[in-house]
Amino acid sequence: MISSRSAGACRGCEECVRIGCSRAGARPDVGDNGRVTLYRDEGVVLRTQKLGEADRIVTVLTRRTGRIRAAAKGVRKTKSRFGARLEPFTHVDLQLYERRSLDLITQAETLRPYGQRLVVDYPRYTAGTAMLETAEKLTAGEREPALRQFLLLVGGLRTLADGSHDPRLVLDAFLLRSLSVAGWAPALDECSRCGDRGQLRGFSIAGGGAMCSRCRQPGTATPAPPTFALMLALLRGEWDYADDSEQRHRVECSGLVAAYLQWHLEHGIRSLRHVERDGGTRERRGAAGATAGDAAGDAVGGRLAAPGAAAGAGDLDFDGYEPDDPAGPGGASDRETV
């Protein structure tokens, strides 16, 4: 028996196939657009790219979805207020329309405009730029959830905007903890080869961190013991010790952390070349060639022997990031819809 339907469009369901409907396989009625997917997520804007004459491609590290790339229409027009909410360093709440290639941003709500405080201070701006680039490089796959990296980035930007610590120390702490989240935390309180917690004499980038005098290879860097202690303090979030550290140890720590990060990424971080380092070239060269002395080793031996160098999940936030806080350092949130 063959039947037909007087109204509506058949979608080829099993019932139609069974009874032999004459409209089986017909196109749906005009105006039926099928399934439309909208979703919301909060994230930090990492970078933007021009698209066409007035649009932009926005790269965002989100809380639930991971790193995404989405299109924002009309944000480059002079009268657009929507574009100001999609600048780098901005913590935003987004509504997006899911598409095959680039998702479309349909709504943006500013949660914390960290860029307002960072762009007026060059050292903090360059440190923040390096943090954004590192976060993007460490989340290589799109739409892969990276909650710990997101929380770490928000906490780092918040601490950087507060101005409570030296920007280079904040950056080094962020890089070390990002490496820990990625599974590449360097060994700082024990030898990366034999596990000995004795006198650490070298730091091997390819070997995974600190090395004792027996395992140290030719050509390995020989940082001072206070430099090891500073790196360990930054990894654990012990800011009292980090803020009291000497400048030459900070410079030495920054060089080791930057080299270790880029070696594991197998890619350079271009923003690091613009990060300001206090101290002249002579001081940097002297710090790079410093050797560990027995007296200095005894002074910090207790700190280096402390167990648990790797940061835990609870140690990742810089200043206790509260994801449900409606307004951060930038004040009240605002909303703009395309």
Q: What is the pLDDT of residues 57-72, one digit of tens each?
A: 999 999 999 999 999 9
Percent of the chain with pLDDT over 70: 71
Tell me, letter by letter, the H, E, C secondary structure of 167-188. Answer: HHHHHHHHHHHHHHHHCCCCEC
Which DSSP symbol is given to 114? Answer: T
Phi, psi angle pair for 236, to nearest 5°: -90, -10
Q: Which fold has domain 147-315?
A: de novo design (two linked rop proteins) (1.20.1440)
Q: Which two tokens stand for residue 178?
A: 């990002």
Q: What is the pLDDT of residues 109-166, one digit of tens each?
A: 999 999 999 999 999 999 999 999 999 999 988 989 999 999 999 999 999 999 999 9
Task: Indicate the class that CATH gives domain 35-113.
Answer: mainly beta
pTM, entire model: 0.75
Strand partners, 92: 43, 110
pLDDT given at position 16: 55
3-class DSSP state for residue 181? helix
Strand partners, 95: 40, 107
- Report whether 188 contacts 228 (CB < 8 A): yes
The CATH 1.20.1440 portion of the chain extends over 147-315
CA pair distance 155, 33, nearest whole angstrom: 42
Q: Which residue has the tokens 């480059």?
A: 76
The CATH 2.40.50.140 portion of the chain extends over 35-113
Contacts of 302 (CB under 8 A, 6+ apart): none
CA pair distance 292, 257, nearest whole angstrom: 18
Q: Which residue has the higher pLDDT, 7 or 270?
A: 270
- Report whether 113 contacts 90 (CB < 8 A): yes
Phi, psi angle pair for 230, to nearest 5°: -65, -45
Phi, psi angle pair for 79, to nearest 5°: -90, 5
- Report whether 123 contacts 284 (CB < 8 A): no
Query: Span 245-271, mean pLDDT?
Result: 94
Phi, psi angle pair for 74, to nearest 5°: 75, 10
pLDDT given at position 247: 95
